[in-house]
Amino acid sequence: MALWQFKVALIPQSWIDSGGIVEELFSDEEFDQPAAWAEYCDSRLEESLSAALQKSESWHSDLTLWGDIDGDDIQLWRDHGKVESLQVRFDLRNPTLALFQSVVDIARELGLAILALEMRSIVPLHPRELLHVAAESNAARFLDDPHSFLQQLGRRVQEHYNKGAAGGAEDPCD
């Protein structure tokens, strides 16, 4: 993912409504969606995604892509035909307002929730709300001031490294 891309996942609202806990999809900086998609089936999914962005060539047999991986894109992962993950990346260098609207419309039409991955929170199904969350994202902060953003990121990485070293963790490079 490029620093200028804001990323969301779409997950079945029915999974949330039946007691699914969004936070449980995250573990040690990873995001794992298959549990949320286990019971979902809607034959309109690909058709709806194709209305938002043009289908593009995929680099993996389990991945269906729409759009441009360096810009706006939609990634649908499957395992044995079953949906495992659906994510959308918005290029904030030149935001496409129609895509924000399309993603909200698709979520409403297909009974999906929009999850802002960076914030780990569900976004209300309104384009203005999705735009607001995008404007508060690290991608937007990077585009606003790349130098300061990268300096701050470097400090956070160093702090993380120092905590590991202070806790007795061995440096894998030693």
Per-residue pLDDT tens digits for 97-123: 999 999 999 999 999 999 999 999 999
* pLDDT at residue number 133: 96
pLDDT at 164: 66
| Band of pLDDT at residue 172, cut at 50, 70 and 90 | very low
CA dist., res. 43 & res. 59, Å (int): 23
**Alpha-carbon distance 26 to 15, whole Å?**
15
Q: List, as one string, the DSSP characters of 26-54.
A: EETTEE--HHHHTT---TTHHHHHHHHS-
Residue type, 49: L
Residue 1: per-residue pLDDT: 65
Give the confidence band of 124 by pLDDT, cuts at 50, 70, 90. Answer: very high
Domain range summary for the chain, segments of one domain joined by +: 5-137
Q: Which segment of 77-81, 110-114, 154-158 scores lowest on mean pLDDT?
A: 154-158
Q: Quote the pLDDT of residue 162.
A: 79
Residue 150 per-residue DSSP state: H
CA 17, chain centre distance (Å): 21
Ranges of H-type helices in the chain = 13-17, 34-37, 45-52, 97-110, 127-135, 138-144, 146-166
